[in-house]
Amino acid sequence: MKIVVLKFGGTSVGSIKRIKNVAKIINSYHKKKYKIIVVSSAMSGVTNKLIRISKDVSNNFSPSEYDVLVSSGEQVACSLIAARLSHLGLKSRSWLSWQIPIITLGDHKNSKIVSIYRKKILNYLKKGGIPVVAGFQGININDRITTIGRGGSDASAIVLAKFFKAERCIIYTDVEGVYTTDPNKLKKARKIKVISYEEMLEMASLGAKVMQPVSIQDARLNRINVEVKSSFKKGTGTLITKRKNIINNKIIAGISSTQNDAKVSLVGVKDKPGVAAKIFKPLSENLINVDMVVQNISANGKETDLTFTIKSDDLNKTKKIIGSNKNIKFRKLLLKKNVSKISIIGVGMITTPGVTFRMFQALANKKINIQVISTSEIKISVLIDKKNTNKALIALHKEFKLNR
């Protein structure tokens, strides 16, 4: 059975006109004799509206009832898609998680799909039906509806592709694919035809908004090829696949940037075992995500300067937490907003010397000062002044020939 999983994001189903367009796309696969499993997000804006309603009703909204509420947007979208497919003369119906069922484990709001019962959907496919499955949701062992985190419809599609051994999993969204950098920031950004799971995971983690990192990780672990395409424009998208499937002479696949970072520096911290843990533990307990971390030891070995980055929104909270932390001693606390993290990503840098030098020289030529450096096997990130973000993107895009 030649199965394809088609997932449609919120913007793709954001209006009746767009739902009719989605039905045409689905019908095109039907004409190619595919057995189709459709996965849909809620119509754009609906989930956020439901979240606002939950906050208006109660400051202590039950997590289990929250999941029932916010998952209802997918139910509406699936019903509309199935109805439009029926209007076109196709056999279709909506399927909610409990009807399949899709089994999850974990807490409400952030569960994980662990099993999907295949029998009902397979029988429906064999009879020529097109199941339209609600993304983002499952049920737990207590038969309660659960949700699997924001962006969870992508994860739903990927896991469905795994369990049903689909030939293809295609994520339809409002962009034409993955770009070398944000096309809204750089007009010369180029669409990437093929990218590895690892590169895409880094790009998503560093600010690219095409897919959530957890969904890419699911695809990587299950070796599911994922194609990202536009539901509004015809043409090829970007294939996300394993490294050995890629024939590419590009050292760097893409460049990402962030716009909402802040830098925190503790100067003159008493250097002794466990001091870093004492600094970061209360931040973790307050759900403050720490990103880049750099530590410099003084010449006498008795003090250290510790610098790290956080989101700007967490800066005031971080200042209070550090100020009230009696377990650490330091001479000065420095805080800086309006910084941006620029990252180059590419599996090619593993075997190519000189990439770090080229990045730093390209920035130096534009008189862009580097404040913090962080590296991994396939990524180099630097922290710079936010005002230099676009200048840095242009310089690095040109240096690594990404506009070709």
CATH number at residue 43: 3.40.1160.10
With H, G, I as helix, E, B as strand and everything else as coil, classify residue 39: strand
Asked if residue 189 belongs to a domain, the reply is no
Domain endpoint, select from 174, 203, 228: 174
| pLDDT value, residue 248 | 67
Confidence of residue 270 (pLDDT cuts 50, 70, 90): confident
pLDDT score, position 303: 84
Is 217 domain-assigned? Answer: no
Indicate if 263 and 167 belong to the same structural domain.
no
Could you write out the DSSP letters of every residue in 315-353? HHHHHHHHHT-TT---SEEEEEEEEEEEEEE-GGGGS-T
Residues 167 and 273 placed together within one structural domain of the fold: no
Domain-located, residue 359: yes
Each residue of 70-123: pLDDT tens digit?
999 999 999 999 999 999 999 999 999 999 999 999 999 989 999 999 999 999
How sure is the predictor about 335, in pLDDT bands with cuts at 50, 70 and 90?
Answer: very high
- Residues 23, 153 within the same domain: yes
pLDDT tier at 261, thresholds 50, 70, 90: very high
Contacts of 221 (CB under 8 A, 6+ apart): none
* Same-domain check for residues 30 and 122: yes
- List the CATH number of the domain containing 314: 3.30.2130.10
Of 205-209, 226-230, 350-354, the one with minimum mean pLDDT is: 205-209
Average confidence (pLDDT) over 129-145: 96
Is 181 within a domain? no
Confidence of residue 185 (pLDDT cuts 50, 70, 90): confident
- What is each CA distance from 330 to 279, 292, 304, 333, in whole angstroms? 11, 20, 9, 8
Q: Is 346 inside any structural domain?
A: yes
Q: What pLDDT was estimated at residue 311?
A: 92
Say if residue 9 is in the same domain as residue 153.
yes
C-alpha to C-alpha distance for 55 and 48, rounded to whole angstroms: 11
Instruction: Report DSSP state, residue 237.
Output: -
The Cα angle at residue 308 between residues 303 and 309, in degrees rounded to 5: 165
Q: Provide mean pLDDT across the span 319-347.
A: 92
List the domain range (segments joined by +) for residue 329. 257-399
Domains in the chain, number: 2
Could you tell me if 9 and 128 lie in one domain? yes
Record the tokens describing residue 179, joined without a space.
């770009």
> CA nearest 41: which of 115, 143, 149?
149
Among 174, 193, 218, the domain boundary falls at 174
For residue 129, is it within any domain?
A: yes
> Do residues 262 and 169 both lie within one domain?
no
**Judgement on whether residues 24 and 122 belong to the same structural domain of the protein:** yes
List the Cα angle 387/391/392 in 5-degree steps: 100
| d(C-alpha 389, C-alpha 392), whole Å | 5
Give tens-digit pLDDT for 5-60: 999 999 999 999 999 999 999 999 999 999 999 999 999 999 999 999 999 999 99
pLDDT of residue 134: 97
- Structure confidence at residue 187 as a pLDDT band (50, 70, 90): confident
Query: Is 197 a member of any domain?
Result: no
- Residue 351 pLDDT grade (very low, low, confident, very high; cuts 50, 70, 90): confident
d(CA 397, CA 162): 36
Per the prediction, the chain carries an average pLDDT of: 92
Q: Cα separation of 78 and 94, whole Å? A: 5
Specify if 383 maps to a domain: yes
pLDDT band at 211 (very low <50, low <70, confident <90, very high): confident
- Which of these three, 174, 200, 235, is where a domain ends? 174
Residue 300 has pLDDT above 80, yes or no: no
